[in-house]
Amino acid sequence: MRFHSPQKLKTIADLIGSAFVGPEDFEVLGTNEIHMVKPGDIVFVNHPKYYDKALNSAATIILIDKEVACPEGKALLVSDDPFRDFNKINTHFTRIYNFTEELHDVEIGEGTKIHSSAVIGNNVKIGKNTLIFPNVVIGDRTEIGDNVIIQSNTVLGGDAFYYRKLNGNFDRLISVGNVIIENNVEIGNGCTIDRGVTDSTIIGEGSVLDNQIQIGHDTVIGKKCLIASQVGIAGCCIIGDEVTLWGQVGIASGNKIEAGSVLLGKTGVNRDLEKGTYIGMFAEDFKTYLKKEVKLRNLK
């Protein structure tokens, strides 16, 4: 999430009541989670296991639960609860409506048709010649391009599935990102595309999604991808252009699929994949799988 205008380190520290390490006027441009950080971003870390990853990431401000040696050119915000304070910063700069107020700051392009039963949040942009079917829900800050089709009961911009365990209960990391649907995308019935935690979940131009597909927060789907029914993609995945995912493919969080790949039905992905055709619970190369099957069947 980028702030509307640059902030100073001391301003953010005062907002959350934290100590800080670095110049008072150190520039802060926004927040982001570890997979998506850029220079000027705040990233939070609350476990020593991940200190090095956060401190050595592209983020230049680290919201951390212990004062440590600060890398050159960076700054620290030292908090007793970085998770809580990350939420506090995000919701200070991005108001959360969750359909409780109908401000309807919506831009709709020429020739677009929206069924009367669709529900649209605030600060939404919809392009030209787009079709929105019955019972579609479009969350705050969603951006939809031209010539898009979104079929019935699909939800764009739901909350990210991102929690921590606190005092025996689940505590949500509040989602202040959005969903971007590029031009000429088709989305089937009953799909759910979560908004980014602090960035954008993106469906690339010309991609086609079947029914009942779940796409997690901050995932980026490339251009002209084809995704069949009941595919589940976790958060922060990168799917290259012209990738085909057949039915019931499951992809764990933070993985990358190279452009042009094909994942056959029920393939499971728990690592990055180079271009190829894959099958099986652990995404095995399809030709290797076939050779193995032939050998197994010829055993006597």
Rounded-to-10 torsion of CA 12, 14, 19, 22: 50
Give residues with Cβ within 8 angstroms of 78, minimum separation 6: 18, 19, 20, 21, 64, 65, 66, 67
Give the closest residue to 87 by CA, choosing from 193, 5, 15: 15
Bridge partners, residue 245, by sequence: 227, 263
Bridge partners, residue 11, by sequence: none
Amino acid at 86: F
Bridge partners, residue 250, by sequence: 232, 268
| Catalytic residue check, 92 | no
Annotated catalytic residue: which of 35, 92, 104, 217?
A: 217
Give residues with Cβ within 8 angstroms of 209, minimum separation 6: 185, 186, 187, 188, 191, 203, 227
d(CA 94, CA 99): 15
Burial of 17 (0-12, 13-18, 19+ CB in 10 A): exposed
Residue 233, SS3 per DSSP: strand
Give the closest residue to 13 by CA, choosing from 73, 72, 92: 92
DSSP 273: B
Specify the length of the chain in residues: 300
Centroid of chain to Cα 140: 15
Query: Is residue 62 within 8 Å of residue 89, measured between CB atoms?
Result: no
Burial of 5 (0-12, 13-18, 19+ CB in 10 A): exposed
Give the closest residue to 106 by CA, choosing from 125, 127, 134: 125
- Please identify every residue annotated as catalytic: 217
